């Protein structure tokens, strides 16, 4: 097998040329060649193969059937010649030395390997009848334009330390110095292109993308890196399929069917111009349109895309490619190319005949031409220098070799890079020495671009983002819309121009390609079971949590004093709840409080006006007036419970309420005792009233009230009430309430009131049936019954009521108990004073009036 014999050749001395002669059958001769002190080799595919088959190294490769001329490849080859002529004329580079070249036409993988072996062995003079030649190895090889063939011969050539510089092989796998120790390239590695494309997809918001590559190393390696980088950017790949132009019809139909039924509207195509043209033709025949293509550099700027039927579907495509460039003088040089310059080149004669549609030799049915024709009179891609992106890479490669050789020859003894500071010997130049200088080369082109290689042999990754905006039958317009520079910090690597972009179908709006629509603020993403992370449902954030970004993965909980708004996209201050004067409940309670105080004042005025009447005098007028005064304060006490709680209002409302109610109950208790004492005083020989006269009544009221005052002082001293923001009862609002401070103090105040009320009730109950026409104990008993019932009911209601209703319950208890006392004790007296004056007599009260 050819490959086996080539591998054997690697392990054999170079002098074993006889084996090569017998295997190849003839010496493989370069199409374009010129002698020089140093030589640069070139391997290009001047023709494209018909079968384009893949080689698996499992069987002997079949010789490709080459047919169509590749104008771009021919341009690459003559760019080498142009650059070498420039260098030979430049006295500043390699003075007193000349560069030569040997350029091979290698159509198909076997020819590429044979060309590489020929360049590594050299085939100069014939040394035997078997066509074997003397070794004449080149100092560097430029080529090939594809990654897989380059990998094939770069691994072999690397064993001989011959530098290989590719202008178009971008597979990231070629960066391995272990496998390809002598490989360099003037085009960035696909590692950077793939990551740039992933950032591009993310930039335009495409999270659901299809991926198609060819089955060669270029496509497989590039698309794999793209998928990894895209997933790091949060992009999902709906499908990844491989495709070649020579696949069976069934396999191609399967790919088309996948594209047709997919939901991804953006397709990343990592392939060459050959595959993309076949693919868009198939889609065109199926009338599948509206797809947004992302192209790799192998096809996105290819000027032969218009040869496909479906090329209009590629309008709007975007992709990265190497920056555009100009090479002064290249255009006129290409126009002057003529077969007479290379009379031994069979290819150039065929190329000439193909371009001018004639024959340089007499052939039936062909127009005869003599070589006087001129390229400037025809329009071909060969002489088109409007887009020299990749041609410039060939140009830079030639200069890189020239500068490396120049630096090698400029070495000063004892200051060289080799052992003991030695320099290379030009008369016995070793290829590993050229390799060393090429690794360290660093020069600037006339355009200002700096050319150098990193430790993997790669060039700096700089790209232009281009957009295919218009197509005619022969050309597509390429517009630069952005840039990518991997040498910059990540945040600055990708930038866009202020140029409008044409999208698929000629649309001006960025197409959407997502598995699920974006989740708006106020929602979060919930992954769909069994589907990629880009497929999700949008779930509203729960109350109290928000998301203020699109496609939030989780909702953020609001701080304690905040709550989510109704959209769920921002936190707002919680509503603070407390009893207000302006709300309905506050207005009702305020009116009731003021009305109670007003009614008590009116009764006070009536009693004061009729203070000399028997009914007022008989009911201890001093205690009655003090009771009316305390009831007035009781009715006004609820006003301290309404409005925003503060430190002073919290302390005042509970202590004032406790003290005033004790004062009130003390007066009632005093009146009850007076009734009992008055009955005992009517008994013969009793002198009890002297023990509970007015001084004793005043002292008892004062003493009982003072006890409550002391309780309140201890409460306020130890742990007073204070305003408190209760966030536990309601999630969505804050209850501003008065915290009791010491619960013992609060219940001590209420307990003391309860004890006095119970005592008063018991005494009044005992005196309720004493003989008298107007026994006040009956009314006191009923009032105390109401008082106790209200406050017993108050306790569970107070504990269970939420927020401001707690305050309302307490106010209601105060008003109800105060009203009970007022109505039961004083209203009957007022009725007699105002409407039954005949009963307001001493005789009637003494029970002596006739019935």
Of residues 71, 70, 74, 94, the one with CA closest to residue 82: 74
Residues 6+ apart with CB under 8 A from 316: 292, 293, 467, 468, 469, 501, 502, 503, 504, 505, 506, 507
Extract the tokens encoding 238: 């709906």
Extract the tokens encoding 827: 């209203």
pLDDT at 641: 86
Superfamily of domain 2-187+385-448: Response regulator (3.40.50.2300)
Extract the tokens encoding 6: 């080539």
Rounded Cα–Cα distance for residues 344 and 341 (Å): 9
pLDDT at 54: 43
Helices (H) and strands (E) counted in the chain, each on its own, are 24, 27
What separation in angstroms does the CA of 789 have from each of 357, 600, 758, 792, 819? 120, 22, 11, 5, 13
Residue 762 in 3-state DSSP? helix
Q: Could you tell me whether strands 292-295 and 266-270 are parallel, antiparallel, or unpaired per DSSP bridges?
A: parallel
Of residues 681, 692, 705, 693, the one with CA closest to residue 627: 705
Q: Distance between terminal CA atoms of the chain?
A: 148
Supply angle C-alpha 750, 756, 761, rounded to 5. Answer: 120
pLDDT at 19: 38
Q: Could you tell me whether strands 462-471 and 562-564 are parallel, antiparallel, or unpaired per DSSP bridges?
A: unpaired
Cis peptide before 677 (omega within 30 of 0): no
Q: Which CATH architecture has domain 584-846?
A: Up-down Bundle (1.20)
Supply angle C-alpha 653, 659, 662, rounded to 5. Answer: 130
Of residues 583, 556, 552, the one with CA closest to residue 571: 556
What separation in angstroms does the CA of 518 have from each of 78, 537, 568? 52, 9, 16
Rounded Cα–Cα distance for residues 753 and 697 (Å): 18
Rounded Cα–Cα distance for residues 468 and 314 (Å): 7
Supply angle C-alpha 299, 305, 310, rounded to 5. Answer: 115
847: number of Cβ within 10 Å: 11
Rounded Cα–Cα distance for residues 744 and 752 (Å): 12
Supply angle C-alpha 246, 148, 269, rounded to 5. Answer: 60
Rounded Cα–Cα distance for residues 832 and 615 (Å): 8
Residues facing residue 496 across a β-bridge: 482
At the top level of CATH, which class does the domain 190-325+459-506 belong to? alpha beta
pLDDT at 770: 60
What pTM did the predictor assign? Answer: 0.66
Per DSSP, the residues of 90-141 read -TTSSTT--EEEEEEE--SHHHHHHHHHHHHH---SB-STT--B-----SEE
Host H or E run for residue 294: strand 292-295
Residue 800 in 3-state DSSP? helix
Contact 604, 628 (CB under 8 A): yes
What separation in angstroms does the CA of 264 have from each of 212, 277, 300, 467, 691? 12, 21, 20, 20, 104
Supply angle C-alpha 706, 712, 714, rounded to 5. Answer: 105
Rounded Cα–Cα distance for residues 39 and 477 (Å): 38
What separation in angstroms does the CA of 619 have from each of 161, 626, 673, 840? 129, 12, 12, 12
105: number of Cβ within 10 Å: 27
Question: Which residues of the chain carry a pLDDT beneath 70?
Answer: 1-28, 49-67, 108-109, 122-135, 473-474, 618-620, 678-693, 768-776, 842-851
Question: If you compute the radius of gyration of the chain from its CA atoms, what whole number of angstroms results?
Answer: 53
Per DSSP, the residues of 426-471 read GGG--HHHHHHHHHT-EEE-TTS-EEE--TTSPPP-EEEEEEEEEE
Of residues 546, 547, 556, 552, the one with CA closest to residue 525: 552
Contact 541, 558 (CB under 8 A): no
Q: Are 2-187+385-448 and 190-325+459-506 the same fold in CATH? A: yes
Tokens 């030639």 belong to which residue?
Answer: 398
Host H or E run for residue 238: strand 236-242
568: number of CA atoms within 13 Å, CB side? Answer: 22
Each domain of the chain, given as residue ranges in start order, spans 2-187+385-448, 190-325+459-506, 523-573, 584-846
Rounded Cα–Cα distance for residues 222 and 841 (Å): 118
Residues facing residue 471 across a β-bridge: 476
Contact 423, 431 (CB under 8 A): no
Host H or E run for residue 660: helix 647-681
State the DSSP code for 541.
P
Q: What are phi and psi of 453, to 5 degrees?
A: -125, 140
Q: Residue 773 class from Cβ within 10 Å (0-12 exposed, 13-18 middle, 19+ buried)?
A: middle
**Could you give the maximum distance between any two Cα atoms of the chain, in Å?**
171
């Amino acid at each position: 097998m050819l490959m086996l014999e080539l591998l054997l050749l690697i392990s054999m001395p170079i002098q074993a040329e006889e084996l090569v002669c017998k295997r190849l059958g003839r010496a493989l001769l370069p199409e374009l060649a010129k002698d020089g002190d140093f030589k640069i080799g070139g391997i290009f595919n001047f023709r494209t193969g018909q079968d384009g088959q893949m080689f698996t190294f499992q069987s002997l490769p079949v010789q490709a059937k080459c047919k169509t001329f590749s104008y771009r490849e021919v341009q690459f080859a003559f760019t080498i010649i142009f650059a070498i002529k420039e260098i030979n004329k430049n006295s500043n580079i390699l003075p007193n030395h000349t560069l030569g070249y040997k350029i091979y036409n290698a159509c198909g993988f076997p020819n590429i390997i044979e060309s590489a072996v020929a360049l590594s062995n050299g085939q100069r003079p014939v040394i035997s009848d078997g066509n074997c030649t003397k070794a004449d190895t080149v100092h560097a090889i430029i080529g090939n334009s594809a990654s897989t063939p380059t990998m094939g011969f770069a691994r072999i050539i690397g064993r001989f330390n011959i530098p290989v510089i590719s202008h178009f092989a971008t597979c990231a796998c070629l960066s391995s110095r272990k496998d390809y120790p002598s490989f360099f390239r003037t085009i960035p590695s696909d590692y950077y292109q793939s990551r740039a494309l992933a950032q591009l997809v993310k930039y335009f918001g495409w999270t659901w993308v299809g991926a198609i590559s060819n089955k060669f190393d270029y496509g497989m390696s590039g698309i794999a890196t793209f998928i990894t980088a895209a997933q790091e950017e949060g992009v999902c790949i709906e499908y990844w399929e491989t495709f070649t132009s020579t696949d069976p019809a069934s396999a191609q139909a399967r790919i088309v069917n996948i594209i047709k039924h997919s939901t991804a509207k953006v397709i990343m195509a990592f392939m060459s111009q050959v595959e993309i043209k076949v693919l868009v033709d198939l889609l065109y025949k199926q009338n599948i349109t509206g797809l947004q293509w992302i192209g790799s550099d192998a096809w996105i700027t290819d000027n032969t895309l218009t040869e496909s039927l479906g090329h209009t579907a590629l309008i709007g495509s975007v992709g990265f490619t190497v920056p555009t460039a100009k090479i002064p003088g290249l255009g006129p040089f290409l126009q002057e190319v003529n077969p007479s310059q290379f009379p031994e080149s069979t290819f150039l004669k065929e190329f000439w005949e193909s371009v001018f549609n004639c024959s340089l030799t007499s052939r039936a049915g062909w127009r005869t031409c003599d070589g006087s024709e001129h390229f400037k009179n025809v329009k071909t891609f060969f002489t088109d220098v409007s887009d020299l992106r990749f041609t410039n890479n060939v140009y830079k490669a030639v200069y890189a070799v020239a500068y490396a050789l120049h630096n090698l020859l400029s070495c000063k003894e004892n200051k060289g890079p080799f052992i003991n500071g030695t320099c290379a010997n030009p008369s016995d130049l070793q290829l590993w020495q050229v390799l060393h200088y090429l690794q360290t080369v660093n020069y600037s082109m006339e355009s200002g671009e700096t050319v150098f290689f990193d430790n993997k042999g790669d060039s700096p990754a700089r790209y232009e983002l281009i957009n295919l905006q218009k197509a005619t039958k022969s050309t597509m317009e390429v517009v630069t819309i952005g840039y990518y520079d991997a040498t910059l910090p990540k945040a600055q690597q990708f930038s866009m121009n202020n140029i409008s972009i044409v999208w698929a179908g000629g649309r001006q709006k960025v197409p959407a390609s997502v598995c699920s629509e974006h989740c708006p603020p106020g929602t979060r993403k919930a992954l769909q079971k069994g589907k990629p992370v880009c497929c999700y449902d949008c779930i509203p954030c729960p109350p109290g949590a928000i998301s203020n970004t699109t496609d939030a993965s989780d909702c953020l909980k609001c701080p304690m004093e905040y709550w989510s708004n109704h959209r769920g996209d921002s936190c707002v201050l919680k509503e603070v709840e407390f009893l207000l004067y302006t709300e309905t409940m506050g207005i009702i309670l305020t009116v009731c409080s003021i009305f109670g105080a007003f009614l008590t004042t009116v009764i006070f005025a009536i009693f004061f006006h009729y203070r000399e009447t028997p009914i007022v005098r008989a009911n201890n007028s001093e205690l009655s007036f003090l009771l009316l005064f305390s009831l007035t304060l009781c009715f006004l006490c609820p006003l301290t419970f309404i409005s925003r709680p503060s430190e002073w209002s919290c302390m005042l409302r509970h202590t004032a309420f406790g003290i005033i109610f004790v004062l009130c109950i003390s007066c009632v208790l005093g009146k009850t005792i007076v009734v009992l004492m008055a009955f005992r005083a009517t008994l013969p020989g009793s002198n009890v009233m002297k023990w509970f006269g007015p001084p004793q009544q005043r002292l008892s009221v004062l003493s009982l009230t003072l006890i409550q005052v002391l309780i309140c002082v201890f409460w306020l001293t130890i742990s007073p009430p204070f305003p408190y923001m209760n966030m536990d009862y309601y999630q969505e609002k804050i209850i501003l309430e008065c915290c009791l401070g010491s619960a013992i103090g609060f219940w001590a105040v209420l307990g003391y009131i309860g004890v006095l009320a119970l005592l008063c009730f018991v005494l009044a109950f005992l005196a309720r049936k004493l003989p008298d026409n107007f026994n006040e104990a009956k009314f006191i008993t009923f009032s105390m019954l109401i008082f106790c019932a209200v406050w017993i009911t108050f306790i569970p209601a107070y504990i269970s009521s939420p927020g401001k209703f707690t305050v309302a319950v307490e106010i209601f208890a105060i008003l109800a108990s105060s009203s009970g006392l007022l109505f039961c004790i004083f209203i009957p007296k007022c009725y007699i004073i105002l409407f039954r004056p005949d009963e307001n007599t001493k005789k009637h009260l003494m029970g002596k009036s006739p019935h």
